[in-house]
A and B are shown apart, each in its own frame.
Chain A
Amino acid sequence: MTDSPDVAEKQTKRRSDRKGPVSRRQVLVGAGIAAGGLGAARLLGLHDLGHLGLPGQSAAPSNATTQDWIAPLDRPEARVAQLLRRATFGYTRAEYERAVSDGFEKTVDRLVETAPADPEPFPGGDTATRGKPLRVGELQAWWVSRMIDSPSPFAERMTLFWHGHFTSDFRKVSPQTPYLYWQNLTWRRLALSDLRTMLYQVTIDPGMLRYLDLATSTGRNPNENYARELMELFTMGVGHYGEDDVRAAAKALAGWREPVTQAMYDDLVAEAQQRGRAVPKNLKPDDVKTGVFEPARAYAGAVTFLGVNRRWDTQAVLDRILEQDAVAPFIVTKILREFVTDAPADAYVKRLADGFRKSRYDVKALMREVFRSPEFVSAPAYRALVKSPTELMVSTAKAVENPQLVRTIVQSGGSMGQTLFDPPEVGGWPSNASWVSSSVVLARINFTVNALATMPKLPAFKDAHNVFLDGVVSPKTAELLQQTGDEPSRWLIVLASPEFQLK
């Protein structure tokens, strides 16, 4: 459940209704705005689509909203800005100017070809134990800081994508191990690799072993949790495997356990001594940051999985999954819904999926194709996505060039429905229309008000509405900007606007 099928699909319907002859009558909303210092504004106005009629809206009042944004994507700077909004966590004015000067193609190359930069180690991350657990708030702040100023911003954005896709939460994984910290490092390291490599590391990731219970599953009495979600949420989606396949995979994947770090080992030994108990004979520290395979707990026999009867190991199970036609379209659809449009056309999905599979599931190659596809900069893709709370908050910090907002960002995520390392469910976070509820819209505005209020001095506003909103604003946004010359107020209007919620 990573989406909101009903709302999203109705909206899709609205969009598809737009096909056919569209009136080019423009409502020029920019006229007369010069007085407010917006002389350079390129307010492009709006198509009036009211005459097309919408389902169930025959009796709509005349002032109901039936207009769409006029996409400015014929302008190079608007294309580049959209790329930065989607492939990264937003931009400062300087980053915008650099990318505009480089142009779209070169910026795609730079983003995609920049290998994930290793973050500064998280203090105490490798040595977390029951006595010295990971401080989750600090870990969140550590990551948000990376999002704001990483030298590999695209890899950082993909790390969040994978955190939502191959998700785990600190409540079940527990901060008393380094596992979640490690998982973040692993997802970043592999963010632009290939799906086959990723799936293996995901399967034996210590945090994942605990989160979806593979670590306690045995061949004799398997736990189905990981096997099911591997196929349903990670690779294929429902309908492409049967219950028998879930059971077979659960058997075939069993045998992994969590690794014991030196710090965890020392902690257990100290506790045993304190209580006058013997240290368990088999207990020893492991020198790996992955799961450890114990053949004695695995299933030795053959099972039939996705139509093939044989003895399996973990890699063979994953390879059998990767042979299925459902995998590439499933992953591509999810990518497109976060990076291009909420309702990608079948042919678009198929084209990219075919390439993805041919490339042996190369993620970097896929993302390059996504950004270079005509659909990415086509008019229907303009403002077709809603920023997640993290994207909204980090892009705000970047717009006002204030890395000090990390604390406010960490504290505000929960009220908007996105707390890092704490997804609401095994399916990760919802997307797009699901981010628009009364509670969340209020929380987004309150974040923006608080963020601006913590800043003694804001950057000069200049033409922020052009840099951050492409100069395409609603009549109301234009009117409000015109009504005030006060800089903090104008920043508030831009950053709290519906336009800035979209990417």
Chain B
Amino acid sequence: MDEKGIARYSRRDFMKAGFVFGVGAPALAAGYAAVPDVFARAVFDAKQAGVVNDRVLVMIQLGGGNDGLQTVIPLGSGRFRDLRPTLGAVADKALPLTKDLGLNANLGGIKKLYDAGKVAIVQGVGYPQPSFSHFDSIRVWETADPARRQQDGWLGKTIAANYDSAGHPLVGCACGSTSVPGALRDLQATLTVIQDQNTFKFQGGDNVEKVMGALYTGTPGIYGALFDTAMTTVRDTVAQLRTSAAQYTPKAAYSDKQQLVYSSKNQLAAALSLASELIVTGTGVKILHVTLGGFDTHYTELNRHDDLMAYFDSAVSAFYADLAAYGMADRVLIATWSEFGRRPNENASAGTDHGTAAPVFLIGDPVKGGLYGQAPDLNALDALGNVGYGVDFRAVYSEILTSHLGVNGRDVLGQSFDRVPFVKDPARSVASNGALVHANGARLAST
């Protein structure tokens, strides 16, 4: 049977036979509202005084280890060309930021935002005794713990400690993936994962939905609470998306480049369009996570990385323009992260191996644009041929948490860091009820 045949048949069959739940279904429908959110409700009932402001964080993961030197290019370094006989060609077309530094030529949209003061680039971001393992280093960045002892994600912790996510599953949301990213993971936070908005609904309609809601209730066993919470979250999210989708039309052109080699499984533009929908329709979303993969450029990197830059640039530019057209750009901070940069010296495959520190981008109206940190010194590579780091990645997190989201960054990170002051209008103080209030208090007065 061909694909179309199946689809046609399935619909017809449903209409004809359907699923018959007899007397049970109405009773179940009535009973659903009383079903508690298994893990979270009790924990969060005590947290009436959550953080109240309208700021939103969008984290973009550049999966695989983004090559910082091909992204923010050391134009002034003769050593760069020596280390990268093939890849060094990227400098020819770079968009100059200063006489010594240029952006990848395919970051034209980001460059425009930079010129408008809406992009901060923190250079040389890393951590001591870096891991060269993808998985190890991803975990370090996700848990904000170079000692690799923490289990919970830094964003998950932030949600658990500061927001009432029970019954509001869109406080934290991963768009475009199937599993919860490590950064958002925390058993005490309810989270939504939406791989594809168009398919995020129950096949078989309301009847099936109600039965599934009942079926995933009080499930025993070690995975029981996870399954039940996932189902509650699905149902809440389906209902929310129904409303949001009706209220949202993108005000910018998002396009996913399916032909993009090695990263066509990434639909960054679609994920950011969904992020925009969740933000502009007032779903209460605070923290979003999206991923663009394909950065593990061990071979023929020049064109591959340039393509990724173009894709990133186009998706992020559309996202910013969309938010701006909706008048929401002042709330949203976009931040990039990647597990590591890459080795300055190119390898035999015209690619690069795993490296250390790299730049982080902070984008949006809340940002005080410009360059932060120090450009890597290619004349002072360490024994393994890598650049040193100047800014601890947790200092970047700290600024995001404390100054942008207005939560207590020290609680989440376990220590304080000197400010990397890329947030223009930092959160101000802790209110008597424990909530932080940011400096843009006028908008909060009415809430």
Chain A residues near B (Cβ < 8 Å): 1-2, 4-7, 9-11, 14-15, 46, 56-57, 59-61, 63-65, 67-69, 171-172, 212-213, 216-218, 220-225, 228, 232-233, 238, 243, 246, 254, 342, 383-384, 386, 404, 407-408, 411, 415-417, 422, 424-427, 430, 432-443, 445-446, 449-450, 453-454, 456, 474-477, 479-480, 483-486, 488-489, 492-493, 496-498, 501-502
Asked if B217 and A437 sit within 8 Å, CB to CB, the answer is: no
A65-B225, A417-B179 known; A440 and B193 CB under 8 Å? yes
From B134, B143, B233, B298, A223 is in contact (CB under 8 Å) with B298
Which residues of A lie under 8 Å from residue B42 when comparing CB positions? 57, 59-61, 64
Write out, one digit per residue, whether chain B residues 1-28 have a CB within 8 A of any chain A CB (1) or not (0). 1010010011101100101111110001
Asked if B234 and A441 sit within 8 Å, CB to CB, the answer is: yes
- Tell whether B169 is near chain A: CB-to-CB under 8 Å: yes
Asked if A225 and B298 sit within 8 Å, CB to CB, the answer is: yes
- Tell whether B429 is near chain A: CB-to-CB under 8 Å: no
Asked if A386 and B185 sit within 8 Å, CB to CB, the answer is: no
Tell me the smallest distance from the CB of B129 to a CB of chain A, in Å. Answer: 11
Measured CA separation A136–B411 after assembly (Å)? 48
Asked if B348 and A221 sit within 8 Å, CB to CB, the answer is: yes
Measured CA separation A489–B174 after assembly (Å)? 32
Asked if A6 and B226 sit within 8 Å, CB to CB, the answer is: no
Asked if B203 and A218 sit within 8 Å, CB to CB, the answer is: no
Which residues of A lie under 8 Å from residue B326 when comparing CB positions? none
Which residues of B lie under 8 Å from residue A497 when comparing CB positions? 215
From A407, A449, A474, B219 is in contact (CB under 8 Å) with A474
Which residues of B lie under 8 Å from residue A446 when comparing CB positions? 199, 202-203
Which residues of A lie under 8 Å from residue B153 when comparing CB positions? 6
- Tell whether B327 is near chain A: CB-to-CB under 8 Å: no
Asked if B212 and A404 sit within 8 Å, CB to CB, the answer is: no
From B17, B178, B299, A439 is in contact (CB under 8 Å) with B178
Write out, one digit per residue, whether chain B residues 124-163 have a CB within 8 A of any chain A CB (1) or not (0). 0000000111111011000100000001110000000000
13 contacts between A and B (CB under 8 A): A6-B182, A6-B185, A254-B348, A415-B178, A425-B63, A437-B174, A438-B194, A442-B238, A446-B202, A484-B22, A489-B20, A489-B21, A502-B221
A7-B187, A497-B215 known; A417 and B178 CB under 8 Å? yes
Which residues of A lie under 8 Å from residue B208 when comparing CB positions? 445, 449, 492
- Tell whether B186 is near chain A: CB-to-CB under 8 Å: yes
Asked if A437 and B180 sit within 8 Å, CB to CB, the answer is: yes
Write out, one digit per residue, whether chain B residues 273-316 have a CB within 8 A of any chain A CB (1) or not (0). 00000000000000000000100101100000000000000000
Which residues of A lie under 8 Å from residue B202 when comparing CB positions? 442, 445-446, 449
Asked if B182 and A4 sit within 8 Å, CB to CB, the answer is: yes
Chain B residues near A (Cβ < 8 Å): 1, 3, 6, 9-11, 13-14, 17, 19-24, 28, 36, 38-39, 41-43, 45-46, 63, 131-136, 138-139, 143, 151-153, 169, 174, 177-180, 182, 185-188, 191-196, 199-200, 202-204, 208, 211-212, 214-228, 230-231, 233-234, 237-238, 261-262, 264-265, 293, 296, 298-299, 347-349, 351, 353-354, 384
Which residues of B lie under 8 Å from residue A492 when comparing CB positions? 19, 208, 211
A6-B153, A417-B179, A436-B230 known; A484 and B265 CB under 8 Å? no
Asked if A6 and B3 sit within 8 Å, CB to CB, the answer is: no
Which residues of A lie under 8 Å from residue B225 when comparing CB positions? 64-65
Measured CA separation A252–B315 after assembly (Å)? 42
The interface centre, meaning the residue of A11, A342, A483 with most chain B CB atoms within 10 A of its CB, is: A483
Asked if B178 and A5 sit within 8 Å, CB to CB, the answer is: no
A217-B349, A501-B227, A502-B223 known; A171 and B265 CB under 8 Å? yes
Asked if B21 and A486 sit within 8 Å, CB to CB, the answer is: yes
Asked if A437 and B179 sit within 8 Å, CB to CB, the answer is: yes
Which residues of B lie under 8 Å from residue A453 when comparing CB positions? 10-11, 13-14, 203-204
From B178, B188, B220, B299, A65 is in contact (CB under 8 Å) with B220
Measured CA separation A438–B173 after assembly (Å)? 10
Asked if A480 and B46 sit within 8 Å, CB to CB, the answer is: no
Tell me the smallest distance from the CB of B146 to a CB of chain A, in Å. Answer: 14
A65-B225, A454-B13 known; A407 and B6 CB under 8 Å? yes
Measured CA separation A217–B299 after assembly (Å)? 10
From A223, A417, A456, B349 is in contact (CB under 8 Å) with A223
Asked if B226 and A5 sit within 8 Å, CB to CB, the answer is: no
| Chain A to chain B: the 6 pairs with minimum beta-carbon distance, closest first | A483-B24, A417-B178, A6-B151, A1-B135, A486-B20, A221-B348
Tell me the smallest distance from the CB of B7 to a CB of chain A, in Å. Answer: 9
Asked if B196 and A67 sit within 8 Å, CB to CB, the answer is: no
Which residues of A lie under 8 Å from residue B17 when comparing CB positions? 488
Which residues of A lie under 8 Å from residue B221 when comparing CB positions? 67-69, 383, 498, 502
Which residues of B lie under 8 Å from residue A474 when comparing CB positions? 218-220, 224
Measured CA separation A453–B299 after assembly (Å)? 46
Measured CA separation A399–B36 after assembly (Å)? 32
Which residues of A lie under 8 Å from residue B179 when comparing CB positions? 4, 417, 430, 434-435, 437, 439-440
Measured CA separation A217–B346 after assembly (Å)? 12
A6-B153, A223-B351 known; A476 and B214 CB under 8 Å? yes
Measured CA separation A480–B210 after assembly (Å)? 11
Which residues of A lie under 8 Å from residue B299 when comparing CB positions? 213, 216, 223
Which residues of B lie under 8 Å from residue A486 when comparing CB positions? 19-22
* Other A-B pairs, 5, CB within 8 Å; known A243-B384, A498-B228: A4-B179, A228-B133, A415-B195, A441-B216, A477-B215
When C-beta atoms are compared, the residue in chain B nearest to A492 turns out to be B19
Asked if B220 and A67 sit within 8 Å, CB to CB, the answer is: yes
Measured CA separation A383–B219 after assembly (Å)? 12
Which residues of B lie under 8 Å from residue A213 when comparing CB positions? 298-299, 349, 351
The interface centre, meaning the residue of B3, B178, B348 with most chain A CB atoms within 10 A of its CB, is: B178
Asked if B193 and A439 sit within 8 Å, CB to CB, the answer is: yes
The interface centre, meaning the residue of B6, B222, B238 with most chain A CB atoms within 10 A of its CB, is: B222
The interface centre, meaning the residue of B134, B138, B152 with most chain A CB atoms within 10 A of its CB, is: B134
Which residues of A lie under 8 Å from residue B152 when comparing CB positions? 6
A6-B153, A172-B262 known; A436 and B223 CB under 8 Å? yes
Which residues of A lie under 8 Å from residue B214 when comparing CB positions? 476, 479-480
Which residues of B lie under 8 Å from residue A1 when comparing CB positions? 134-135, 138-139, 182
Measured CA separation A10–B299 after assembly (Å)? 39
When C-beta atoms are compared, the residue in chain B nearest to A233 turns out to be B135
Measured CA separation A475–B219 after assembly (Å)? 8
Which residues of B lie under 8 Å from residue A233 when comparing CB positions? 135
Asked if A171 and B264 sit within 8 Å, CB to CB, the answer is: yes
Which residues of B lie under 8 Å from residue A456 when comparing CB positions? 13
Measured CA separation A243–B133 after assembly (Å)? 10
When C-beta atoms are compared, the residue in chain A nearest to B219 turns out to be A498
Asked if A438 and B230 sit within 8 Å, CB to CB, the answer is: yes
When C-beta atoms are compared, the residue in chain B nearest to A502 turns out to be B223
Which residues of A lie under 8 Å from residue B218 when comparing CB positions? 63, 65, 67, 474-476
Measured CA separation A446–B200 after assembly (Å)? 10
Which residues of A lie under 8 Å from residue B45 when comparing CB positions? 59
Measured CA separation A437–B225 after assembly (Å)? 12
A61-B36, A228-B354 known; A484 and B24 CB under 8 Å? yes
Tell me the smallest distance from the CB of B369 to a CB of chain A, in Å. Answer: 33
Which residues of A lie under 8 Å from residue B20 when comparing CB positions? 484, 486, 488-489
Which residues of A lie under 8 Å from residue B43 when comparing CB positions? 56, 59
The interface centre, meaning the residue of A171, A438, A484 with most chain B CB atoms within 10 A of its CB, is: A438
Which residues of B lie under 8 Å from residue A479 when comparing CB positions? 24, 214
Asked if B220 and A228 sit within 8 Å, CB to CB, the answer is: no
Asked if B354 and A224 sit within 8 Å, CB to CB, the answer is: yes
Which residues of A lie under 8 Å from residue B143 when comparing CB positions? 6
Asked if B347 and A64 sit within 8 Å, CB to CB, the answer is: no
Asked if A46 and B220 sit within 8 Å, CB to CB, the answer is: yes
Tell me the smallest distance from the CB of A478 to a CB of chain B, in Å. Answer: 11
A56-B43, A438-B230 known; A426 and B216 CB under 8 Å? no
Asked if B233 and A489 sit within 8 Å, CB to CB, the answer is: no
Tell me the smallest distance from the CB of A129 to a CB of chain B, in Å. Answer: 18
Measured CA separation A446–B234 after assembly (Å)? 12
Which residues of B lie under 8 Å from residue A493 when comparing CB positions? 211, 215
